[in-house]
């Protein structure tokens, strides 16, 4: 899809170090009308470059990012995204789904918090609602 054809589409990027998870999310999003999957970053540095290049509406973000551990993680990236891209919707998608992570992520500015083990079906549903509210 060329950049010229993206007008009116909900642009989504993903930050996750698992190629399997990234492929699964991309497959889910490929079935959605009005949603453009703009790419995957495996760490915070590449995430910020990807966001700068594509100016997404939504970021799907994992907490644990192997390339950045133990110095930084997706929680730290929430804060950076909120400062730099305050209008971006942040969806946490993580295996670290305990209440302490949910509370912290939402307090830092995540809009949604999904468990990788149980909530994959919520991603397309949430994006559909988001695109409908934009129209």
Over residues 100-129, the pLDDT tens digits come to: 999 999 999 999 999 999 999 999 999 988
Q: What is the arithmetic mean of pLDDT over 43-57?
A: 95
Sorting pLDDT into bands at 50, 70 and 90, what band is 68?
confident
Backbone angles phi, psi at 25, to 5 degrees: -65, -45
What CATH architecture is 8-134?
3-Layer(aba) Sandwich (3.40)
Summarised one tens digit per residue, pLDDT across range 78-90 is 999 999 999 999 9
* Every domain of the chain and the residues it spans: 8-134
Q: 48: Cβ–Cβ under 8 A, 6 or more apart, which residues?
A: 80, 84
* pLDDT the model gives residue 1: 37
Beta bridge partners of 39: 13
- Specify the DSSP element, H or E, that contains 74: helix 74-84
């Amino acid at each position: 899809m060329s950049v010229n054809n993206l007008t009116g589409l909900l642009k989504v990027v993903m930050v996750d170090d698992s190629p399997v998870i990234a492929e699964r999310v991309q497959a889910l999003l490929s079935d959605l009308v009005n949603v453009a999957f703009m790419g995957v970053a495996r760490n915070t540095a590449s995430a910020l470059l990807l966001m700068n290049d594509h100016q997404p509406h939504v970021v799907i973000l994992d907490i644990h990012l192997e390339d950045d551990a133990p110095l930084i993680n997706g929680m730290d990236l929430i804060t950076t995204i909120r400062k730099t891209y305050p209008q971006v919707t942040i969806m946490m998608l993580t295996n670290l789904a305990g209440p302490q992570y949910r509370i912290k992520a939402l307090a830092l500015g995540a809009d949604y918090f999904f468990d990788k083990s149980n909530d994959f079906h919520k991603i397309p549903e949430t994006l559909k609602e988001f695109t409908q509210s934009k129209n």
